[in-house]
Amino acid sequence: MRAFTTHTGLVAPMDRANVDTDLIIPKQFLKSIKRTGFGPNAFDELRYLDKGEPGKDNSTRPLNPEFPLNHARYQGASVLLARKNFGCGSSREHAPWALEEFGFRAIIAPSFADIFYNNCFKNGLLPIVLDETVVDSLFAAMYSEEGFQIEIDLQAQTVTSAGQTYTFDVDEFRKHCLLNGFDDISLTLLDAEKIQTYEAERRQSQPWLFNAVHQ
């Protein structure tokens, strides 16, 4: 998992409340657990004018000119500015996979669905909760200024834009993991030596358990 320390990036809008995970990555694409290959179909129903299906060549599909993420001014955006209850709906972890592969490193919103919020941290994506009035002001600034960027400092827990700095809360353990790029597997491997020692001792003290496994 990629570590997140500081990041400065172009901001793109998802200016609607209650964006659910089926809108982020539709159900027909949930046929893999490889964590890759979902970015081209992120927001599929909004990005394209036809119906997306697995295996389709997205480069030949008609783009929706009304969808902001298709606009030239938002190409290369790495910070998504959203409205309340972002990521609601099903618990599919494919949603943060798709957003991360699309190019987003952080999402700012007044609130997130709990499971989606947790899944973001496990996949190197930083979800930031800011007051709704602050989010409103960021939307206004972004729409008025092409190339609008935001600077995020996870260690300091700050978001800075246009000379204004805002602080956000984050659980210390999640912060530690994201700063160091630790997902669940990485955390387990930190104790690999202890695990190996335990297994060796167990094999000596209860060898019949291991013999049974090999039979």
Beta strands 149-153 and 126-129: pairing type? unpaired
Check residue 212 and give its pLDDT: 58
Q: How far is CA 59 from CA 41, 48, 138, in A?
A: 11, 10, 32
Return the bridge partners of 161, or none. 164
Give SS3 for 174. helix
Check residue 16 and give its pLDDT: 97
- Going from the first residue of the chain to its last (215 residues), give the mean pLDDT of each consecutive group of 10, the final group possibly shorter: 95 98 95 88 97 92 97 98 96 95 98 96 96 98 97 98 95 95 79 80 82 55
* Residue in 91, 34, 28, 20 with CA at minimum distance from that of residue 54: 28
Check residue 95 and give its pLDDT: 97
Place of tokens 């209850």: 85
Check residue 215 and give its pLDDT: 45
Q: What is the pTM of this model?
A: 0.88
Domains of the chain: 6-182 (3.20.19.10), 183-215 (no CATH)
Contacts of 102 by beta carbon, 8 Å cutoff, 6+ apart = 39, 42
Check residue 126 and give its pLDDT: 98
